[in-house]
Structure formats: structure tokens, C-alpha cells
Amino acid sequence: MVVLFTWLGAKQKYAHKYANCWTHRGHDVLHVTTSVMDLLFPRTGAEQTASRVVDFLNEKDKDVIIHGLSVGGYLTQRVLMTARDSTVRISHLIYDSFTNCVGIEAGVQNAVHPNYRSLAKVGVRAYCKFADLSSINEAQNFVLTSPYRAPTLFIHSMADQVSLYPDMQPVICAQAQVSPVTKYIIPQELQVPHVTIMRYLGEQKYMGLIDSFVEKHRNYVSSKCQRDVSSVPINNTPSSEAAILSM
């Protein structure tokens, strides 16, 4: 079973391309969209969505591969937080263009059309000042201090202006403290924008690196059989288990 978390406002035709990559390989796919309302009102939005996803997976009794793109990474963390107290078995985590809440102001501005960046700047500042960010902060704290223990693949472009790679490094280092981490980083000079990595690489190469990652860690011990990761100290230093793949 694959749970696919797509980016904010992803059009169905693009989301279906990712889903079809998995169904063609014989996997069942649960596609979860991330709406603006999920983010604006996370207690009644994202958290409720996460609970429904975990309830659904509990009934399936299958190993689960998580594939999160962009802001879908936030909803992924809410699912992982909920799954800790469930029987769900998550075997692999795949993050493409993972969006960290650090640098959210610059990220939102770069995500919109240049004509609307001033308006976006005002809007996101007001949101950060007045909105209840506790749910988002909880997810951020989770991914940095007690990340879910499962083999993780980070696919990222150094030219991504929505999710800057330096903002991602603490997340990658924290994950590498508790599980094997593989990074596929596309160099800056290739100028590959946010959530366009599959389009740049092509489906065959993109899914080829995912297939290799999944197969490599197919027999990794389930996190449910290991100690609670909240007891693992996180010092945000790179792990020797992290492998870097370059173009």
C-alpha cells in the first residue's frame, strides 16, 4: 500500500501521474490531497485528515510506503505522529521537495506568480502572527526530535526556491540519527524548480531510484519492533548511514 501526499493545490492530472507510477508496479494507492483549509485550520483540517488516513490503514493490515511531495510532508508528519499509537506498519518514507516550515515566508512568496508576491508576503506574515501554529510546530518538533524510524529517501533540488535545501538539512540529519537515509540531490546549476523533479528526470529514472531504494531496505526491521524513537537523542550531526547520490 502506498500513501501519496501531493503538494498544495495539485491538479488531478499531475497527481495521477505519480499515483499511476505506483499502480503500474502493482501497488494499491491512497492519494491524499493537502488543501488550503487543512493548513489554515490544522486542528480541524490536517489532524482530522491524518486520523482518517491512519484509521483506513489500520483496516488494511498492509505494510505502507509513504510518498510525500512538498507541503504534503507536513500532513505526512501528522500521519506518522498518529501512527505511533496504531498497528500501522510503515516500511519506507519518500520525501520529494519536502517543505519545511522554517523559511515559510520566503517559500510562499517564491511559490506564487511574481505579480502576487507582495500580497503573499503580507498574507503569510499575518498568518504567522495571528494563526494557531501549534499543530504545525508540533509536526516540526516531531520531525526534528523524534522522527519516525523507517528508511527514508530525500529527493531534492538545490535550485528549489520554495523549500531551500539549507532549511532541509536539520530534518535530514535528524532522520539519519534513527534510520538509514538516502539523498538524491540535483545540483543548483541544473535549475530544477520545486516539485518538478520527476518531470526533469523522466518517470523511468525517477521511479528507478525509488525502486532501488525500496528494494534495498525491503527487509528493514519494522519500527514497531524497535524502541520508541522519542528516547533516541538527536544531535543533528550527519550519520554514516546516509548515502548521497548525485547526477
List domains and CATH numbers for the chain.
Answer: 2-101+138-245 (3.40.50.1820)
User: What percent helix, strand, coil does the chain show, rounded to 5?
Assistant: 50, 15, 35
Local confidence band at 206 (pLDDT 50, 70, 90 cut-offs): very high
pTM of the entire structure?
A: 0.82
How many Å is the Cα radius of gyration of the chain? Answer: 17
Q: Which of 171, 161, 19 is nearest to 80 (CA)?
A: 171
Q: What is the pLDDT of residue 226?
A: 42
Percentage of the residues of the chain whose pLDDT score is greater than 90: 51
